[in-house]
């Protein structure tokens, strides 16, 4: 149990376009989902915390208008990178915690974004 | 100073050896401790979850927490080449589902056949 999927697994786009990444909890309901960014050989950098039905909470330094997060249901959160630029190229990973008093985060497989 | 410190490695061991990993932390409020394994270009996988001080064993993995020293450890017995990965420690103050985790920087482990 506790499987999280992400789609797409990798995406290449042109500079200036927008890209949407989906994060789904497949076998559990997730009240909270988290979005991370990871650069090569570095640890996870939390971008935002997403709660179902409410606005996401962004970490300091993360542009809300650039990284749009929507958590429309208990099993789906989306991250849209708007007007992507080459510096947005990175590995984006989501995680989810099960509804209730559980703080273990279960991670998706990640999405590699390359902006040309 | 980072809240959670973890040696980046790489830690190279021969197959069959015991892998010893650790993290130190500064915030005494942390009560929940986790170890994740991350293979290259994959998402982290939860290995161990412990609460407060003590030991927990699961197969070849043993997690130890010493809150008095603010030090946690993960031991991997009979290491295999498939254990080669980056190991991340993570910790949390409270058990709420929406609570953020604080991660260490990760230790890269290489198990040589």
Q: Is A21 exposed, middle or buried (0-12, 13-18, 19+ CB in 10 A)?
A: buried
| pLDDT tens digits along B30-61 | 999 999 999 998 999 999 999 888 899 999 99
8 Å CB contact of A103 and B95: yes
Mean pLDDT in residue range B13-20: 97
Site from B98, B99, B110 to mutate, A interface, most A CB atoms within 10 angstroms: B98
Instruction: For residues A72 and A86, give the distance between their C-alpha atoms in angstroms, rounded to a whole number.
Output: 29
**DSSP secondary structure of A52-111:** TTS--EEPTT--TTTEEEEEEETTEEEEEE-S--GGG-EEEEEEEEETTT----EE---E
Mean pLDDT in residue range B6-29: 95
Radius of gyration of chain B (CA): 14
pLDDT score at A101? 65
Task: With CA atoms as reference, report the closest residue to A44 among B87, B78, B22.
Answer: B87
Asked whether residue B97 carries a pLDDT value surpassing 70, the answer given is: no
Residue A107: list chain B partners with CB under 8 A.
36, 43-46
Asked whether residue B106 carries a pLDDT value surpassing 90, the answer given is: yes
Backbone angles phi, psi at A87, to 5 degrees: -70, -10
B7 touches chain A (CB under 8 A): no
Asked whether residue A116 carries a pLDDT value surpassing 70, the answer given is: yes
Please name the residue that has the structure tokens 């890209």. Answer: A19
The chain-wide mean pLDDT, for chain A, equals: 92
Closest partner residue to A104 (CB to CB) among B49, B88, B104 is: B49
Asked whether residue A104 carries a pLDDT value surpassing 90, the answer given is: no
Per-residue pLDDT band for A102 (boundaries 50, 70, 90) equals confident
The chain-wide mean pLDDT, for chain B, equals: 93
Closest partner residue to A31 (CB to CB) among B90, B97, B106 is: B97
Asked whether residue B12 carries a pLDDT value surpassing 70, the answer given is: yes
Chains A, B: CB contacts within 8 A come to 64
Asked whether residue B17 carries a pLDDT value surpassing 70, the answer given is: yes
Backbone angles phi, psi at A86, to 5 degrees: -50, -30
Backbone angles phi, psi at A18, to 5 degrees: -110, 150
| pLDDT tens digits along A67-78 | 999 988 999 999
Mean pLDDT in residue range A34-63: 91
Site from A43, A55, A113 to mutate, B interface, most B CB atoms within 10 angstroms: A43
Task: With CA atoms as reference, report the closest residue to B65 among B35, B100, B96, B103.
Answer: B35
């Amino acid at each position: 149990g506790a499987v999280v999927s992400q789609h797409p697994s990798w995406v290449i786009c042109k500079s200036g376009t927008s890209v949407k990444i989906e994060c789904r909890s497949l076998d559990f309901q997730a009240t909270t989902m988290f979005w991370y960014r990871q650069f090569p050989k570095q640890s996870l950098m939390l971008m935002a915390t997403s709660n179902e039905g409410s606005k996401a909470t962004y970490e300091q330094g993360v542009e809300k208008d650039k990284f749009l997060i929507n958590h429309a249901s208990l099993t789906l959160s989306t991250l849209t990178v708007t007007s992507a630029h080459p510096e947005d190229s990175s590995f984006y990973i989501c995680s989810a915690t099960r509804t209730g008093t559980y703080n273990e985060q279960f991670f998706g497989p990640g999405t590699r974004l390359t902006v040309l | 100073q980072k809240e959670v410190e973890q040696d980046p490695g790489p830690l190279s061991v021969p197959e069959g050896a015991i892998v010893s990993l650790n993290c130190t932390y500064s915030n005494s409020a942390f009560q929940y401790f986790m170890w994740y394994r991350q293979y290259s270009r994959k998402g982290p996988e939860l290995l161990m979850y412990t609460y407060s001080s003590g030991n927990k064993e699961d197969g070849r993995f043993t997690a130890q927490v010493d809150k008095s020293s603010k030090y946690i450890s993960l031991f991997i017995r009979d290491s295999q080449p498939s254990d080669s990965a980056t190991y991340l420690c993570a910790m949390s103050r409270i058990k709420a589902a929406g609570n953020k985790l604080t991660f260490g920087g990760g230790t890269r482990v290489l198990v040589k056949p």
